[in-house]
Chains A and B, each alone.
Chain A
Amino acid sequence: NAGVTQTPKFQVLKTGQSMTLQCAQDMNHNSMYWYRQDPGMGLRLIYYSASEGTTDKGEVPNGYNVSRLNKREFSLRLESAAPSQTSVYFCASSGVITGGVNTGELFFGEGSRLTVL
């Protein structure tokens, strides 16, 4: 069971460069999320997609864009990276799991550690 897969796991960028973080889930979940995690800050929501074809801003959307490519995939793009975007990024999904129950639980990918110099 792959669950939630995100790539790359590590990336170093220079200020001003762009990149896309990829995320895919194989649990047939409707909802997908991008969080960032900084020391002492917990997880902060960047963008989410409640269902295929919809995306909405979270708590810290500035400097990011997202694409919900299909039900499985949700990508996060940094158009012009800044040092303040150095962080660990987590993709997550939620939805009805086998057995028909939606507990609201988030299933997380392994994280992508991004450093912007």
Chain B
Amino acid sequence: EIVLTQSPRTLSLSPGERATLSCRASQNVSTGYLAWYQQKPGQAPSLLVYGVSSRGIGIPGRFEGIGSGTDFALTISRLEPEDFAVYYCQQFGGSPPFTFGPGTRVDV
């Protein structure tokens, strides 16, 4: 099973600032199999980025995913009020189980 570790667990920032979230995998993850999700309180997770760097439908350009192998990152260039949420990385790997990281909370 591929274990995903996210850091930091909490990021305290202000609107307009830049956020950088890290995701490290215990084994190599192919590019197509790494995604990021955003979750707001009381809501289901929603797709942000897939294939490491492709944004989902309607996702603004301030969200950027990068990385390869075992090290990945999600950058939010300028935080908007609606971006304060929890972010999860997730991998499909070559076989199940398909795992998620523990999440990074971005708060004010």
A and B associate in one complex: no
Which A residues have a C-beta under 8 Å from some C-beta of B? none
Which B residues have a C-beta under 8 Å from some C-beta of A? none
